[in-house]
Amino acid sequence: MPPVTKAVLALDQGTTSSRAIAFGRDGRVLGVAQQEFRQIFPQPGWVEHDAGEIWRTQRDVAAQALAKAGLSAGEVAAVGITNQRETTVVWDRKTGAPIAHAIVWQDRRTAARCDTLRQAGHEALFAERTGLVLDAYFSGTKLAWILDNVAGARARAERGELAFGTIDTWLAWKLSNGAAHVTDVSNASRTLLFNIHTLDWDDELLAILDIPRALLPRVVASSGVVATTECEGLPRGMAIAGIAGDQQAALFGQACHRPGMAKNTYGTGCFLLMNTGERPARSSHRLLTTVAWKRQDKTQYALEGSVFIAGAAIQWLRDGLGIISSAPEIESLAASVPDAGGVFFVPALAGLGAPYWDPRARGAIVGLTRGATRAHLARATLEAIAFQSAELLEAMTADAAIHLTELRVDGGATASNLLMQMQANLLGVPVVRPKVTETTALGAAYLAGLATGFWRDEAEIAALWERDRVFEPALSRDAAATRLAEWKRAVERARDWSRDS
């Protein structure tokens, strides 16, 4: 008799680390492993990763998580993949070797190309077809840059020798030993190349960016078996059955299955998504319209606001300034002062995302006086994360004409009670932290497990979602509005600063 399946393995490939988590049928963690990898900064505004290193760390933590959970291949119902989105990899189809470093979503090198596209009058077409703004954040111009700047790349691409993918595609390729060159609809919708209405690559947009269709992966549903594991270092024969970009996976993992439900993920960046149902909703506040997931031939859409630097600002305090020795230390340091002492930190270290979309913004610390200390800067950093998210929700509620009754939160920075209270104070609605905050990985697990029958339906997994703590607003709306207005003044000091990109 074959062993009874006990778990789903989620591969959570993030911007600064690779994680793997095995989840049981009750949605609880059975085994977890995590490993950081290098961040490469060749020039100001450029951010790269070694895709080979990403693969090795992800494979190794997957093996470690299975070992910690005591699971054999036959006991794993499915493997789900969730990933940092927009990060762009191009590799040789025969050797599987990348032809250059991956260009990370934070990278701003193609800002000038986006300006040129706007000046040529293409912005409205891209917005209508893709739901996105023309910004260096997305994969399309990154892919075009690789083709134009790596020797021989364009000719090789046109001959069909090269493959493009975001990180989900790269992992599926490596896991399946090259059998699967696929991406799901949620990741495809972040490329500037995908028509979110027809759910296919758009030939007109490909022509504008001069990208050969032969490079592109096959687009699949977010929930469904696409291949099995056939790689060295992991058990063979496990079904790869779920793929979703990290923020869409978190929306699913937070059980935001109905229109009007929203979540905010506090990771390297902050990403606020609201489920808008089976029709895409257009934004008048420069938010993104994106595919949330596709399952059983039904496609769900979402509105999204993206903050580029959130937890990464805390990492910068640790690694760049050295004012904390570990990320969790920021909580006690920030709590050691009653307020930020008039200090505002605008962490535009990779430009500004929604609602500004300003690639030339740069980080700024304003309001400094002789009495300012590292504690004030630590508190201002936490406040900056909350301020940026408050601006997103302000725009989203205006677009969707829905007043949220609560905001579900997840991600590493939600461990900070101080940050969560700041957020509730600014939003004026309860902030709800679930018992399982690894909802990005959990969403990938759910999508994979639903495809293989490990879980029955969305109602079953929604019943597994549990509250850990609710943070109630403790600031008047007038006071919150005043604080937000002060923040916006600080943002204006940081905007349109860099003239070299």
Residue 5 has a pLDDT of 83
Residue 365, token pair as written in the block? 């610390």
Domain boundary among 247, 269, 293: 247
Nearest Cα neighbor of 177 from 240, 128, 127, 266 is 240
Is residue 171, in this structure, part of any structural domain at all? yes
Known binding site for sn-glycerol 3-phosphate: residues?
15, 85-86, 137, 246
Residues at the binding site for glycerol are 85-86, 137, 246-247
Q: What integer pLDDT is reported at residue 197 of this predicted model?
A: 96
The residue among 223, 247, 271 that closes a domain is: 247
Whether the predicted pLDDT of 447 surpasses 90: yes
User: Which residue ranges are tagged as binding site for ATP?
Assistant: 15-17, 268, 311, 315, 412
Q: Answer yes or no: is 410 within a domain.
A: yes
Query: 105 in a domain, yes or no?
Result: yes
> Total domain count for the chain?
2
Within-domain flag for 458:
no
In this structure, the answer to whether residues 153 and 240 fall within a common structural domain is yes
In this predicted structure, what is the pLDDT of residue 436? Answer: 82
- Rounded Cα–Cα distance for residues 119 and 116 (Å): 5
Residue 249's pLDDT band (cuts 50, 70, 90)? very high
Same domain, 408 and 429: yes
Q: 206 and 226 share a domain?
A: yes
Instruction: Output the domain CATH number for residue 102.
Output: 3.30.420.40
Residue ranges at the known binding site: 15-17, 19, 85-86, 137, 246-247, 268, 311, 315, 412
**225 shares its domain with 289:** no
Number of residues written out for the chain? 501
For residue 453, pLDDT beyond 90: yes
| Structure tokens that stand for 431 in this block | 């902030």
Domain annotation covers residue 79: yes
Same domain assignment for residues 220 and 122:
yes
Torsion of CA 393, 245, 219, 217, to 10 degrees: 130
pLDDT category of residue 500 using cuts at 50, 70 and 90: low
Q: What is the largest CA-CA distance in the chain?
A: 73
> Which helix (DSSP H) or strand (DSSP E) does residue 56 occupy?
helix 51-69
Question: Residues 339-369: pLDDT tens digits?
Answer: 999 999 999 998 888 888 888 899 999 999 9
Averaged confidence pLDDT in the chain: 93
pLDDT tens, residue by residue, 119-132: 999 999 999 999 99
Report the pLDDT value the prediction gives residue 1, as an integer from 0 to 100: 36
- Residue 413's pLDDT band (cuts 50, 70, 90): confident
Q: Which long-range contacts (CB under 8 A, 24 or more apart) does 273-276 make?
A: 273/247, 273/248, 273/302, 273/303, 273/304, 273/305, 274/302, 274/303, 274/304, 274/396, 274/400, 274/402, 274/404, 275/251, 275/300, 275/301, 275/302, 276/301, 276/302, 276/303, 276/400
pLDDT at 501 over 60: no
pLDDT in tens, 153-186: 999 999 999 999 999 999 999 999 999 999 999 9
| Nearest to 447, CA basis, from 250, 201, 268 | 250
Q: Are residues 349 and 322 in the same domain?
A: yes
Q: Let me know whether 36 and 92 are in one domain.
A: yes
pLDDT of 268 above 60:
yes
| Residue 132 placed within a domain | yes
Q: Measured between alpha carbons, how far is residue 335 from residues 102, 340, 346, 360, 462 in Å?
A: 38, 10, 20, 32, 35
Burial of 468 (0-12, 13-18, 19+ CB in 10 A): exposed
pLDDT 10s digits, 39-71: 999 998 899 999 999 999 999 999 999 999 999
Question: Distance between alpha carbon 95 and the CA centroid of its chain, in Å?
Answer: 29
Do both 93 and 203 map to the same domain?
A: yes
Is the same domain home to 127 and 58?
yes
What residue numbers bound the domain in which 401 lies? 255-434+466-500
- Are residues 313 and 197 part of one domain? no
Same-domain check for residues 217 and 334: no
Binding positions for ADP: 15, 19, 268, 311, 412
Provide the whole-model pTM.
Answer: 0.86
* Parallel/antiparallel/unpaired status of strands 262-266 and 407-410: parallel
Q: Which of the listed residues 220, 247, 274 is the one where a domain comes to its end? A: 247
pLDDT digits (tens, 9 = 90+) for 457-472: 999 999 999 899 999 9
* 431, 420 contact by CB (below 8 A): yes
In this prediction, residue 3 has a pLDDT band, given cuts at 50, 70 and 90, of low
Q: From CA 331, how far away is CA 261, in angstroms rounded? A: 29
Q: Is residue 459 part of a domain?
A: no
> Percentage of the chain with pLDDT > 70?
99
Beta strands (DSSP E) in 28-170 are 29-36, 48-49, 76-83, 89-92, 102-103, 162-165
Q: Indicate whether 201 belongs to any domain.
A: yes
CA atoms within 13 A on the CB side of 318: 12
Q: Judge if 188 and 274 occupy the same domain.
A: no
Higher per-residue pLDDT: 435 or 400: 435
DSSP letters along 71-88, please? --GGGEEEEEEEE-SS-B
